[in-house]
Amino acid sequence: MLATLWVIITLTFFLMHSIPGSPFNEERATSEAVQKNLEEYYHLDEPLFIQYVMYLKSVVTFDFGPSIKKSSQSVNEMLGRGFPVSFELGMATLVLAVVSGLLLGVAAALRHNGLIDYIAMTVAVIGISVPNFVLATFLIQQMSVNLGILPVATWASPRHMILPVAALATGPMAIIARLTRSSMLEVLTQDYIRTAKAKGLSPFKIVFKHALKNALLPVVTIVGSLAAAILTGTFVIEKIFAIPGMGKYFVESINQRDYPVIMGTTVFYSLVLIIMLFLVDIAYGLLDPRIKLHQKGER
């Protein structure tokens, strides 16, 4: 995990500094002397390797320093304000996507090649095919502008969560539904499922106690990366709905070449992603007792 994070930090740092220009190039009123002082203040006049070492030290202490464009604010303060909002939006989206995706996938597998299967997979294909920003625009037009039953944007009440959560959850829900369906179809043909049916177990126990648990392994794999992406903020959706999450700061920092904010949000996102993938590995062992951790030399 640490090695992966170091590679991400290193690549991001050098790629970002390889782009021509400076964060102060667009400051029309900035004289050459003032620009030089600003670069000295933010250590941009130092050799690139020195900047890299200094940044590694700041990452270790989790202190990303002040923003270049908003010098009165630190990157840590921005993350502290933006991440709780993105996390709240992400958790609601994740719960909706996982629950609805699993239900659609299980229903489609149990009614394979039936009407429910066709309807569920049609919904899944639409969810995968339509980008979330297109769906968000459609929902705003229909639910807010035409019908006027839901607020357009901002983040002030539970009603403000409905449209962005719906727009964000559709894609992950479709992916989870298709994966659950294919995995369930494979598991339902296994010998132990036939044995459970022969013993007279109820369909509910067979599906949810025996089949679904083993069918969840590939689903858990994709949910880990989906969760990291959702919990750290989907930049386009947050921008469309004017949600004050991490996406706002990340988009602004890219446009303004605000190095500390770009690096801080990238490192934070990468850290969350790596932790989620680590939790996925642990979940494998919990879901399937056959998967165990062995010491070197064990068989």
Q: For all residues of the chain together, what is the average pLDDT?
A: 80
> What residues have CB less than 8 Å from 261, skipping those under 6 apart?
64, 67, 68, 69, 75, 78, 249, 250, 252, 253
| Number of Cα atoms under 13 Å in the Cβ half of residue 50 | 7
The helices-and-strands tally (H runs, E runs) of the chain is: 13, 0
Mean pLDDT computed over 167-177: 89
Residue 84's pLDDT band, with cuts at 50, 70 and 90, is confident
Range with top average pLDDT, 45-49, 64-68, 129-133, 150-154: 129-133
Number of neighbouring beta carbons within 10 Å of residue 250: 25
Mean pLDDT computed over 115-144: 87
Mean pLDDT computed over 154-178: 87
Range with the poorest average pLDDT among 24-33, 56-65, 98-107 = 24-33
At 41 the pLDDT is 66
**pLDDT of 26 higher than 60:** no
At 57 the pLDDT is 85
Mean pLDDT computed over 227-246: 77
Residue 230's pLDDT band, with cuts at 50, 70 and 90, is confident
At 298 the pLDDT is 52
At 71 the pLDDT is 67
For residues 256 and 22, give the distance between their C-alpha atoms in angstroms, rounded to a whole number: 9
Residue 29's pLDDT band, with cuts at 50, 70 and 90, is very low
What DSSP state is assigned to residue 295? -
Alpha carbon separation from 123 to 36, 94, 181, 219 (Å, rounded): 57, 18, 13, 18
**pLDDT of 299 higher than 60:** no
**pLDDT of 179 higher than 80:** yes
Range with the poorest average pLDDT among 38-52, 71-85, 192-206 = 38-52
At 288 the pLDDT is 66
At 24 the pLDDT is 61
Mean pLDDT computed over 232-250: 78
| Number of Cα atoms under 13 Å in the Cβ half of residue 210 | 19
Amino acid in the structure at residue 199: K
Residue 69's pLDDT band, with cuts at 50, 70 and 90, is confident
**pLDDT of 295 higher than 60:** no
For residues 115 and 100, give the distance between their C-alpha atoms in angstroms, rounded to a whole number: 18
| pTM for the model | 0.76
Q: Which of 259, 232, 211 is nearest to 106 (CA)?
A: 211
Share of the chain above pLDDT 70, in %: 86
Question: Which 3 state secondary structure label does DSSP give 74?
Answer: strand
User: Is 136:240 a contact under the CB 8 Å cutoff?
Assistant: yes
What DSSP state is assigned to residue 142? I
Q: Which two tokens stand for residue 17?
A: 């500094």
**pLDDT of 286 higher than 80:** no
For residues 51 and 208, give the distance between their C-alpha atoms in angstroms, rounded to a whole number: 54
